[in-house]
Structure 1
Amino acid sequence: MDLPVYTKQQLALRNGQDKPQIWVAYKGFIYDMTESRLWRNGRHYEHWAGQDLTDELSDAPHTEAVFEKFVPIAVLA
C-alpha cells in the first residue's frame, strides 16, 4: 500500500473548519472521517479532528477496532 505522507501541520488543517475534510490520525495512519455521522463539524465528543488520537484512545469507550471500519488514506510523517 503506497500512501501519501502528510505532516502534523497538514493534518491539522483537515479539521472540518479550516478545510472541509475531517481527518484523524491513529498509530501513524491518517483516516478520513468526513462521511462519519459521529464526526459532524470535525468534533467527536471531546475530540477534535485534525489531530493524532493515538494517545487519546485510552479515554474512549471503544477499542482501536473502531479503526478497522475505515481505510487509511495517508501516513502521518
Structure 2
Amino acid sequence: MDEKLYSKNQLALRNGTDKEEIWVALNGVIYDVSASRLWKNGKHYEHWAGQDLSDELKDAPHTEKVFEKFEIVGKLR
C-alpha cells in the first residue's frame, strides 16, 4: 500500500480544534496522537499539534522512541 502524503497545511488542520484528529510530524513521518491523554485538546506542554516537531524533540525529556506507540498516518511532503 502506498503511503499517503500530506502537506504542511493539511497537517496544520489536525490540531485538535479545526479537525477532530490530533497529528504531529517527526522527521517527515506523521503520527496520530489523538488517543494520548498527553495531547488532550492538541496541546502537549508547550507544544501544539498540527506541526512538525522535529526541531523541538532535542529539548524533550524523551526520545523519538515514544512515537513508536502511535499510528503512522502518512508522510509530510
Which TM-score bucket, shorter chain as reference? over 0.9
Matches within 5 A, 1:11-50: 11-50=11-50
- Paired residue total: 77
CA displacement 1:2-31 (0-9 Å, x = unmatched): 211000000000000111110000011100
Output one character per residue of 1:16-73: Cα deviation in whole Å (capped at 9) or x when no partner: 0111110000011100011111100000000000000000001101111101112311
Does structure 1 residue 4 correspond to structure 2 residue 25? no
Moved over 4 A (4+): none
The amino acid of 1:20's aligned partner reads E
RMSD of aligned alpha carbons: 0.9
TM-score by length of 1: 0.95
Q: Distance in 1 between matches of 2:63 and 2:75?
A: 21
- Mapped to 2, the partners of 1:38 and 1:69 lie a distance apart of 13
TM-score (normalizing by structure 2): 0.95
- What's the counterpart of residue 64 of structure 2? 64
**Corresponding residue number in structure 1 for 2:55:** 55
